[in-house]
């Protein structure tokens, strides 16, 4: 037996194509591996909204409505109040699986990133590729979530072009930030459960998701102010049912989310490249 298949001839054009499209190749690899999890991703994408909407939206909502009347918060039913928060939270949580696990795997578990970096692909392109593939999951999660919200009557048709993009923006920004945060992890034991418990869970619970931030004591309201989930939720409520929001606050929240994503990705690219070359 001998090896007869030869690689296409090296030419400046072929070489530069590999260097240019590295992020796409990484994203392709990630999407292929996500495909193996498709059942889990679909079940999660459908199950999560249905579970939260029935239990908290309808179940706890009935308690809230009994107490405050059917339009007690912002003049809308509890379900409508809850919807924008849940869709952004889901977009942000969904991205975790596609960012933290592959990053830890690539650097620590199977060291796949080091193999990728031995090809013309750069560290920064690996970071880009991961985020790109994760964005696909975010888009999927957000659209599915929105459809379930629509079915529950928690949002109107008109929110399709506003609420979904806000959720996607929040997911991608958060994904970039997590990418940067995970890029430097050396000891993964308990890292994921730690992030879940000290970052994700408090953010989920204290960002005005289930109740207006203002009901919390002022001493813990800062959690909401620094939380991208809160900013995205505020934007979502404004766009979904017209919650009062002054233009300067809209600007700040938008700027915050965009800045988080851009800075996160810049930092992640730098850290990936440095870690893979040192």
Partner 1 sequence: MITQLIATSAAVEIAERRGTYPGAGVYAGRPHAVMQRAFIALKTSNMLAFLTGFVEPVLFLLAFGYGLGGLVGGIDAQGQDLSYAAFIAPALLASSAMNGAIFDSTYNVYFKMHYGRIYQGMLSTSLGPLDVALGEIGWAMLRGATYAVGFMSVTAVFGLVPTWWALLTIPAAVLIAFAFSAIGMAFTSYMTSFQQLNWLNFWLLPMFLFSGTFFPISSYPGWLQPVIEVTPLAQAVEMVRSIWFGQFDLGLAVNILYFVAISVVGASLTTRRLTALFLR
Tell me: does residue 194 bind partner 1 (CB under 8 A): yes
Q: Which residues ranging from 102 to 161 are in contact with partner 1 (CB under 8 A)?
A: none
Tell me: does residue 2 bind partner 1 (CB under 8 A): no
Nearest to 38 by CA among 86, 98, 96, 89: 98
**How far is residue 109 from each of residues 16, 25, 106, 188, measured CA to CA in Å?**
30, 21, 6, 9
Give min distance, CB of 50 to partner 1, in A: 9
Given the structure tokens 């994408």, which residue do they identify? Answer: 45
User: Interacting stretch for partner 1, rule CB under 8 A, among 42-50, 119-127, 154-162, 244-252?
Assistant: 42-50
Among 34, 78, 122, 155, binds partner 1 (CB under 8 A): 78
Are 235 and 254 in contact by the 8 Å Cβ rule? The answer is yes
The residue among 6 and 36 lying less far from partner 1, judged by its C-beta, is 36
Cβ-proximal residues to 126 (8 Å cutoff; 6+ apart), any chain: 22, 23, 26, 106, 113, 116, 117, 272, 276
Give min distance, CB of 206 to partner 1, in A: 6
| Angstrom distance (rounded) from CA 54 to CA 226 | 29
Among 23, 26, 27, 64, binds partner 1 (CB under 8 A): 64
Beta bridge partners of 34: none
| Angstrom distance (rounded) from CA 202 to CA 54 | 22
Count of H-run helices and E-run strands, the chain: 13, 0
Tell me: does residue 19 bind partner 1 (CB under 8 A): no
Tell me: does residue 5 bind partner 1 (CB under 8 A): no
Half-sphere exposure of residue 117: CA atoms within 13 angstroms, side-chain side? 18
The residue among 44 and 128 lying less far from partner 1, judged by its C-beta, is 44
The residue among 35 and 157 lying less far from partner 1, judged by its C-beta, is 35
Among 40, 71, 158, 277, binds partner 1 (CB under 8 A): 40
Give min distance, CB of 44 to partner 1, in A: 8
3-state DSSP percent of the chain in helix, strand and coil, to 5 = 80, 0, 20
Q: Which residues ranging from 197 to 256 are in contact with partner 1 (CB under 8 A)?
A: 197-198, 201-202, 205-206, 210-211, 215-216
Give min distance, CB of 197 to partner 1, in A: 4
The three-state secondary structure class of 190 is coil
Residues that bind partner 1 (CB under 8 A): 36-37, 40, 43-44, 47-48, 51-52, 54-56, 59-60, 62-64, 67-68, 72-73, 78, 187, 189-191, 193-194, 197-198, 201-202, 205-206, 210-211, 215-216
């Amino acid at each position: 037996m001998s090896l007869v298949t030869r690689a296409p001839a090296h030419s400046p054009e072929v070489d530069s194509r590999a260097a240019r499209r590295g992020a796409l190749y990484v994203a392709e690899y990630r999407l292929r591996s996500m495909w193996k999890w498709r059942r889990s991703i679909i079940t999660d994408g459908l199950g999560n909204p249905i579970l939260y909407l029935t239990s908290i939206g309808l179940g706890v909502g009935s308690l809230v409505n009994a107490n405050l009347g059917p339009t007690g918060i912002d003049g809308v039913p509890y379900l409508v109040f809850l919807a924008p928060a849940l869709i952004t939270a889901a977009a942000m949580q969904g991205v975790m699986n596609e960012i933290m696990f592959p990053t830890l795997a690539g650097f620590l578990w199977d060291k796949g990133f080091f193999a990728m970096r031995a090809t013309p692909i750069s560290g920064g392109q690996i970071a880009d590729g991961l985020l790109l593939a994760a964005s696909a999951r975010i888009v999927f999660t957000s659209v599915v979530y929105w459809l379930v919200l629509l079915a529950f009557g928690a949002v109107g048709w008109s929110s399709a072009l506003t609420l979904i993009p806000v959720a996607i923006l929040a997911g991608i920004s958060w994904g970039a930030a997590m990418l940067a945060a995970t890029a430097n992890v050396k000891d993964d034991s308990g890292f994921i459960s730690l992030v879940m418990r000290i970052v994700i869970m408090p953010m989920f619970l204290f960002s005005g998701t289930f109740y207006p931030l203002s009901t919390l004591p002022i001493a813990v309201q800062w959690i909401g102010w620094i939380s991208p989930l809160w900013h995205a939720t505020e934007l979502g409520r404004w766009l979904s049912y017209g919650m009062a929001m002054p233009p300067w606050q809209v600007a700040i929240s938008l700027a915050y989310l965009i800045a988080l994503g851009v800075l996160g990705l810049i930092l992640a690219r730098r850290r990936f490249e440095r870690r893979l070359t040192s």
